[in-house]
Amino acid sequence: MAYKTSGKGYADVAAHFRKLIKDGDLTPGDPLPTVAEIRQQFDVAAKTVSRALGVLKGEGLVTSRGALGTVVADPTAVTSGVDRIPRLSSTGRQYGPGETSTGHRVMLRSVTDPKVCRALDIDPGTEVLIRVRTFRQDDRPTSVGISIYTMRTVAAVPELEEEGPMTGNPYFGPLYAERTGREVTPGDRFGYLRLASQDELEALEIKVPAVTPVTVLVTDVTFHDEDGPVAYWEDVYAPDGKIRIPMTSG
């Protein structure tokens, strides 16, 4: 595999290997090139390589493994639904190393949740398609993914009605754009705390008395085309999980 890029700083080196790890081109236990190899491949100083590796270690992406040198670490962060899109676009892979999904459900429902109605700009009682699945890391549940689609979205991408995981690319955006001529754009992602529902507790395998409240972290994002909202995604994370917060420039 070619590691050469045009980046010259430690942040460029770190970003290159970070992408390889997130895309699954480097998996847990895989060794990174030696410091000498990275120096030659990126034409940088040893101090630059050391800083880059320090960044990756601080993010929990790599670890030192004695004679093996620096290797990719076991995953510590949960990948949210919207964060899978770049990996899908570049590699076609939905899952990271050791990741799977279970408990797939597809439902047509009349939505009454005010938050969802506002996000999709629909009236209470409007029918929508809901897809639910539980993501797992090394067979441990890490998050529940809930995707809600307007019926005009379903009309353009009827594959969304398939039971179980969608075949092919599970992100609806490319098919929707191909068939309608309208690009899909995700809005800002928001995070907040709320009490988990009983269904979510069961999916995350959290066993507590029925009257015990459990607070969970939730993130959501709404997708739009030029005519308005087309989908709303929500991720509900296990209490012991953590997610990466993307940096933004301001």
Question: In the CATH hierarchy, which fold is given to the domain comprising 10-72?
Answer: Arc Repressor Mutant, subunit A (1.10.10)
* Lowest mean pLDDT across 60-69, 134-143, 185-194: 60-69
In the chain, where are the structural domains located?
A: 10-72, 84-237
Give the integer Cα–Cα distance in Å for 105 and 131. 6
**Comparing 35-39, 43-47, 75-79, which segment has the lowest mean pLDDT?**
75-79
Q: Which helix (H) or strand (E) holds 88?
A: helix 84-91
**CA distance linking residue 133 with residue 194, whole number of Å:** 19
d(CA 8, CA 38): 11
175 vs 7: which has the higher pLDDT: 175
Mean pLDDT, residues 145-163 taken together? 96
User: Which residues, other chains included, contact 172 with Cβ-Cβ below 8 Å and sequence gap of 6+?
Assistant: 149, 153, 157, 159, 160, 184, 231
Residue entry with tokens 């507590």: 208
CATH 3.20.20.80 for domain 84-237: no
Which of 200, 204, 236, 232 lies closest to 219 in space, CA to CA?
236
Give me the pLDDT at residue 39, please: 94
pLDDT digits (tens, 9 = 90+) for 200-241: 999 999 999 878 899 999 999 999 999 999 999 999 999 988
Q: What are phi and psi of 239, to 5 degrees?
A: -55, -25
Distance CA 103, CA 221 (A): 22
Q: Nearest 10 degrees: CA dihedral of 183, 173, 25, 168?
A: -140
Closest to 147 measured CA to CA, from 228, 231, 237: 231
Q: Which of 170, 175, 164, 204 is nearest to 92 (CA)?
A: 170
Question: Residue 229 burial by CB count (10 A; 0-12/13-18/19+): exposed, middle or buried?
Answer: buried
Q: Residue 246: what pLDDT? A: 66
Q: Quick check: 113 pLDDT over 80? A: yes
Structure tokens at 4: 């050469």
pLDDT-derived band at 247, boundaries 50, 70, 90: low
Distance CA 217, CA 231 (A): 20
Lowest mean pLDDT segment, chosen from 22-26, 109-113, 158-162, 180-184: 22-26
- Fold equal for 10-72 and 84-237: no
Question: Rounded to two decimals, what is the model's pTM?
Answer: 0.80
